Amino acid sequence: MWDCISGMGENFGLSELKELRSAYLKALPSNGKRYVLDKMPLNFRWIGFILSAMPEAKIIYLNRDARATCFSNYTANFERGHEYSFDQESIAHFYNLHKDLMRFWAERFPIYQIDYEFLTENQESETRRMLEYVGLPWRSRCLDFHKNGLTVASASASQVKRPMYRGSSEAWRKFSGHLSPMLKILELNNRS
């Protein structure tokens, strides 16, 4: 949704930020909810704009093993805007650029960072901390997110209909012999 930024010109001032905020809020479904969760993978590019247009927004960043993240994206069959995910070398380079940009944003803005593996092993304590960060109360049904019956329109739609599970970050290992172009680039970046 934040891709509308690219068409707004080079000079961004307060009026353009207000316009951006208004356009984003108008584009949201009018379901009467006070909170919106926008987990589009490319949102990381727009964190500066998001927080400038909506200072009350809370950014949550889920850190996950690079190999698991790239493998997951490579096998997700994304649509328009995610062409980087169709090629192993492209996805590894894109991931490395993504990590560099996230370091940049984290130096400038409050970003709540969560480790994926820690979350899967400590679901309740991490969920409690995350809810506290965004200003929402704890409810035990948060642990049963897969039973909420809400519509999910994302690549992870089938995953959110099941309880949280451990070990998904190791799925790439079964295919490691076929992932050498991606793994080489990620390994090189990890050493530098």
Phi/psi at 72 (5° precision): -60, -45
Q: In whole angstroms, give the CA distance from residue 80 to residue 82.
A: 6
Would you give per-residue pLDDT tens digits along the chain (192 residues)? 445 555 555 667 888 888 888 988 888 877 777 777 888 878 899 999 899 999 999 999 999 999 999 998 898 877 777 888 899 999 999 999 999 999 999 999 999 999 999 998 999 999 999 999 999 999 988 888 767 666 565 555 556 556 666 667 888 999 999 999 999 999 887 665
The 3-state DSSP class for residue 95 equals helix
Looking at residue 147, its amino acid is K
Is residue 158 assigned to a domain?
yes
Calculate the CA dihedral of residues 91, 97, 101, 104 and round it to 10 degrees. 150
Question: Structural domain tally of the chain?
Answer: 1
Among residues 82, 80, 61, 94, which one has the least CA distance to residue 189?
94
Structural domain containing residue 153: 58-191
Instruction: Establish if 32 belongs to a structural domain.
Output: no
Tokens representing 80 are 């328009």
**Global pTM value:** 0.80
CATH code at position 69? 3.40.50.300
The pLDDT of residue 2 is 47
179 close to 172: Cβ distance less than 8 angstroms: yes
Beta bridge partners of 15: none
